[in-house]
């Protein structure tokens, strides 16, 4: 069937807006499709990078309800107490010997003055023993609070990635080389301790911004692979804007 259009004919643009499509461990991408006289165009609007709000935040808080971590004195603390009465940026390390985690700790600590000015506490949690956590603090001089999660309970509750395929990647290899060139070092003794070896060292981490209030989890970013650090500006926007 043929269709003819006169020179005076016009085509009214039509915009279709499909439903939001969640992408595992990244966030939400909003795609729009436009039809006009020049054809079809695809545009991608703002990406809310790994932020969670509303019911999702409450669901995450529920998953963490029974999780406890240990401070450097060996005291067990419900993880939600870390942000119950304050806002906190909580960084989850791969393990305490990890060179990439030491770089993450440093790049967050560089912005601690901004967090302090906004009344935000910087926290780091690692899957390992209290002794490993103490060694990490001694070696890195990390100025935030440090807690140990010997049972990986928080990592399992948050469903952080784990496995060989997300540990040994081309990007991770480049990040390790960059870290060594910048002066960071892996602690191989910590890396091969029983707590780490039993898990294979394949655990990935992430970053959470939460509080005040146990259920008030406003941002969570799950690393897709080793060394998958978000831009620090994204974290500051989530915690200190």
User: What pLDDT does 230 receive?
Assistant: 94
Place of tokens 């039809």: 35
What does the pLDDT read at residue 200?
60
List the beta bridge partners of residue 220: 208
Note the pLDDT tens digit of each residue in 191-224. 877 767 776 678 999 999 999 999 999 999 999 9
Q: What pLDDT is stored for residue 194 in this prediction?
A: 72
- What tens digit of pLDDT does each residue of 59-117 get? 788 889 899 999 999 999 999 999 999 999 999 999 999 999 999 999 999 999 999 99
Mean pLDDT of 27-50: 36
C-alpha dist (Å) from residue 231 to 13, 104, 109, 111, 134: 37, 11, 14, 12, 27
Biggest CA–CA distance in the chain, Å, is 82
Eight-class DSSP state of 81: G
Q: What are the boundaries of each domain within the chain?
A: 61-240
C-alpha separations of 100 from 175, 178, 182 in Å: 7, 10, 11
Residue 47, H or E segment: strand 39-49
In this structure, of 1-10, 136-145, 175-184, the range with the lowest mean pLDDT score is 1-10
- How confident is the model at residue 193, as a pLDDT? 75
Vertex 114 angle, CA 121 and 88, to 5°: 20
Of the two residues 205 and 20, the one the predictor is more confident about is 205
CATH no., domain 61-240: 3.40.30.10
């Amino acid at each position: 069937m043929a269709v003819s259009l006169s020179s005076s004919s016009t085509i009214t643009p039509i915009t279709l807006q499909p439903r939001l499509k969640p992408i595992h461990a990244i966030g939400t991408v909003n795609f729009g499709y436009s039809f006009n006289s020049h054809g079809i165009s695809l545009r991608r609007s703002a990406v809310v990078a790994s932020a969670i709000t509303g019911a999702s935040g409450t669901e995450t808080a529920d998953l963490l309800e029974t999780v406890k971590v240990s401070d450097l004195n060996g005291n067990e603390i419900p993880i939600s107490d870390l942000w119950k009465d304050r806002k906190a940026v909580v960084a989850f390390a791969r393990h305490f010997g990890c060179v990439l985690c030491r770089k993450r700790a440093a790049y967050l600590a560089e912005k601690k003055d901004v967090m302090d000015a906004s009344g935000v506490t910087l926290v780091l949690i690692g899957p390992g023993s209290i002794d490993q956590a103490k060694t990490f603090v001694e070696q890195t001089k990390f100025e935030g609070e440090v807690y140990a999660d010997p049972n990986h309970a928080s990592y399992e509750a948050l469903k952080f990635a784990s496995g060989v395929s997300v540990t040994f990647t081309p990007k991770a290899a480049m990040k390790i080389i960059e870290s060594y060139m910048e002066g960071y070092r892996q602690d191989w003794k910590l890396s091969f301790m029983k707590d780490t070896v039993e898990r294979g060292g394949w655990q990935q981490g992430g970053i959470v911004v939460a509080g005040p209030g146990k259920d008030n989890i406003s941002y969570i970013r799950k690393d897709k692979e080793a060394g998958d650090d978000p831009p620090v500006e994204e974290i500051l926007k989530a915690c200190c804007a």
